[in-house]
A = this chain, B = another copy of it.
Amino acid sequence: MTSPISYAPELLVQTWFNTDRPMLLSSLRGRVVVMAAFQVLCPASIAVAIPQAQRIFETFAPDDVTVIGLHATFEHHDAFSTAMLKAFIQEYRLKFPIALDQPNHAGPIPHTMERYKMRGTPSLILVDRHGVIRKHAFGAVDDLRIGAEIGALIQEGGQSVALARSSAA
């Protein structure tokens, strides 16, 4: 069985945090991209997915892996504000770039979430060095498994895995 190759579409973003300029996937060719979609009022996002995204950000070398957070406001629209997301990022001391998904005036699902056909939050998407989506998971993913998948995608490029704090052989 083969799946058609699916290139990761660009994010449609209302506001970026923790980055001076918008992140373009087309500019990230050559790196593995980990996109962690979350929602600040989603318990599993806060307890599991956000800490894991932060661990991934701290574990891998920036030249190998780029972590991008995506706040997908697909419910509780009346409870959300940009100020709230900004305060959240500050309180949880997140350092990786985070995009606020662009609202969709035609319905509750924001544009990037719709474009990626995410089923909810947390969702985790892995994009390889060529821009192809290689994993699209909904719900919690364990560290060992996601670590293995990221490590394999890094290695595909023929480069060895450089960890931020490497362990000697």
Contacts and interface: CB of A to CB of B under 8 A. Distances in A.
B152 A160 contact: yes
A144 B141 contact: no
Contacts of A136: 168-169
Nearest to A91: B41
Interface stretch (A9-17, A23-31, A74-82, A102-110): A74-82
Query: What is the interface residue range for chain A against chain B?
Result: 35 or more
Nearest to A154: B152
Which residue of A59, A86, A88, A152 has the most chain B CB atoms within 10 A of its CB atom?
A: A152
A130 interface: no
A93 to B, nearest CB: 9
Give the oligomeric copy count.
4
Interface in A39-59: 41-43, 46-47, 52, 55-56, 59
Nearest to A93: B43
A169 B116 CA distance: 12
Interface of A: 3, 6, 41-43, 46-47, 52, 55-56, 59-60, 76, 78-81, 83-84, 86-88, 91-92, 133-137, 141-156, 160-161, 163, 167-169
Given A43-B91, A43-B92, A55-B142, 4 more contacts: A133-B169, A136-B169, A143-B144, A148-B148
